[in-house]
Amino acid sequence: MKYAIIPARGGSKRVPRKNIKEFLGVPMITRVIEVLRSSQLFDQIVLSTDDHEVADIGRKAGAVVPFIRPDDLSDDFTGTAPVIAHAVNEMKLVGLGVSSVCCVYPTAVLLRAEDLFQSIDIMASGGWKYVFSAAKFDAPVQRSFLLNLDDRVEMLFPNEYKTRTQDLPAVYHDAGMFYWASPQTWLDQEAVFSANSTIAEIPSWRVQDIDTIEDFERAEYKYNLMRKVYA
């Protein structure tokens, strides 16, 4: 059985109650659950949360909340892997057969069902530990630089200064949408960024981290654009 697991704790410092903040009139997590349901890929959508209001909103949208996440897995320093491992363990304890797990972030409001179809096909095509969403950097990172303490420019990759832009390899970043893996991979909490992983590429214009109010507003703008593009 295929499960989507959404890790959505109640706390958020920079954007208060981010995971259930109204995104164009609908709680953010509700929009994500709607996409997961529309894909019809999952036998169940599981919400892992420490917060009863988040749980109630998730249930109304169509997710199940079979447990409340413990406090020691709900602070600012807990990573995704132990949260998903905990959820997989809880599912196994009640006898659920789990064949594959897709961790989907509650802020992945720019996710489309087609992204999930693409990624599960990639997962089935080879012996990957993880398949996760990623996007190309819009500008060549090899031309990036810092300002030192004297406000002087300091290139991060000085050896690439004379390399033509078209000769520079594409560089990708985690799109922060989803991560497919087997239950055992999650239980072992193996590293995502390794030679055993590959990506499902998402267009860079459809990727947005949401860490600030400005990010949130930018995501709403992109969502409206996305609706026009895919209308």
pLDDT in tens, 28-52: 999 999 999 999 999 999 999 999 9
pLDDT of residue 151: 95
CATH number at residue 42: 3.90.550.10
Helical axes 28-39 vs 52-61, angle rounded to 10° = 40
Residue at 115 is within a domain = yes
Asked if the structure places residue 12 within a domain, the reply is yes
Average pLDDT, the chain: 95
Q: What percent of the chain has pLDDT over 90?
A: 90
**Has residue 116 been placed in a domain?**
yes
Q: Is residue 136 part of a domain?
A: no
In total, how many domains does the chain have?
1
CB-based contact 80:7 (threshold 8 Å)? yes
132 pairs with which residues across the strands? 179, 199
52 falls within a domain: yes
Q: What is the pTM of this model?
A: 0.94
Residue 102: domain span: 2-129+176-229
Q: Give me the residue label for tokens 């413990």.
A: 70
Q: Is residue 150 part of a domain?
A: no
Is residue 211 a part of any domain in this protein? Answer: yes
Is 153 a domain residue?
Answer: no
Residue with the bigger pLDDT between 98 and 140: it is 140
Q: Say yes or no to pLDDT of 173 above 80.
A: yes
